[in-house]
A and B are shown apart, each in its own frame.
Chain A
């Protein structure tokens, strides 16, 4: 801190930041507190959780499986692209990279309708749902992997390994692969959190048999008691927040992005 900011200014700065953080934290806590209140008796109980698990258990497991699939598929598609952009840039590769980022700034509902109209015959197929979600997850994989690959002195390390007599496979296995484990883990965390919480695109693409959990959440908001809705929200938060917190703690730098709203 080179600036002389003065104690009072510092205090105001910390106070404002803390207040904003509390405002961010308070609503989910209130939701969780509602979830333990039984609808009729106003007593503390876990009955709402049982209700959510029995009624919406299917969509819970569907969302989990979908998120796992999206993580794997996004990595498979985006990793080669990210490595290519970062290590072997070609003409227009930066333009293509920018193009990959564009879905992030497009409204989910518009994309959902475009996807439905474009592939009307596939409507109700979970692969279509996964594809639409991957429009929003692949950019993150490309960006996270690309950024960290660019920061690493990979060329020098590879050259060093080469002079030590390592072949192409050994170089990849012992030099490149260990270095991209960290960004790959980061990318998987954020992709899981996004797929798990995605509503805008998934809501119109989901069907009653393949209801994603956020879509089920909406159902509880419109038709169940505050307690059940609170319990469903608590389960939703439990599925997303640990991944997000782990991501933040591992990333350490400010990272722009997150859920489409």
Chain B
């Protein structure tokens, strides 16, 4: 607790002090643009990762089979990579002479996803790479807590698998879906290493913080943006935790 006070509360308090002194608190156009881009990107990535991770999370949570532990370990490996590593891997895979474009070239004779790494699409794919394991694990633990008996009851009453899924399972795990959505949203929002490697044209908040702190030595702007980011992430995580408790 004392550690938390020293290491977190005091610095954030000083950050607040810096943000509100030395000129009016206002954000320039580029900062607003970055904020909008960051939020849109994070929302999109959060939505996609839930859609992609639904089935793997279900398989890992509900089916028992050999090699499940290995499969989960493989799937969650990107959790150990910090953002810059993910950014570098994205350049290797979908950069100008990346693995996937080259492979597509040799297999089908045309380039696929060539030089996509530096475009917004590349950014989305790189973000998905590190969000998929997070979303899968969050959904898996939610699915694991579901009551088997209800589904068994529905099955004996003649409900088909699809009907059970959409009338029973999805409503029951809905809070968990929302919780996972906001969890991945807040992780993407603060993500910084990937943007550092890949973001060329797209303005994102973490990059703006970095450049105004190190490049322009505009500490106040960096402080305001940092506080904004902390505020949004914190609210997202509160929503996520409340929803988690509901489910």
Contacts and interface: CB of A to CB of B under 8 A. Distances in A.
B77 A1 contact: no
Given A113-B15, A217-B84, A254 B7 contact: no
Interface stretch (A4-12, A50-58, A64-72, A176-184): A4-12
Interface centre among A3, A20, A114 (most CB of B within 10 A): A114
A102 interface: yes
B218 to A, nearest CB: 12
A248 B151 contact: no
Range, interface on chain A:
35 or more
Contact of A233 (B88, B141, B144, B229): B88
B132 A20 contact: yes
A134 to B, nearest CB: 7
B118 interface: no
B141 A254 contact: yes
A245 B77 CA distance: 8
Given A21-B71, A107-B189, A244 B79 contact: yes
A144 interface: no
A152 to B, nearest CB: 20
A102 to B, nearest CB: 7
Contacts of B229: 107, 109-110
A14 interface: yes
A69 to B, nearest CB: 15
A256 B141 contact: yes
B137 A20 contact: no
Given A16-B56, A117-B14, A214-B82, A4 B7 contact: no
Given A113-B213, A258-B133, A135 B7 contact: yes
Nearest to A248: B73
A258 B69 contact: no
B197 interface: yes
Contacts of A199: 82-84, 192-193
Interface of B: 1, 3-4, 6-8, 10-15, 18, 52-53, 55-56, 58-65, 69, 71-90, 92-93, 99, 129-130, 132-134, 136-138, 140-141, 144, 148, 151-152, 155, 161, 164, 183, 186-187, 189-194, 196-197, 206, 209-210, 213-214, 219, 222-223, 226-227, 229-230, 233-234, 236-237, 240-241
Interface of A: 1-6, 9-10, 12-14, 16-18, 20-28, 30-31, 34, 77, 81, 96, 98-100, 102-103, 105-111, 113-115, 117-119, 131-132, 134-135, 138, 193, 197-200, 204, 214, 217-218, 221, 226, 229-230, 233, 236-237, 240-241, 244-245, 248-249, 252-261
6 contacts: A2-B148, A20-B56, A109-B226, A254-B141, A260-B82, A261-B86
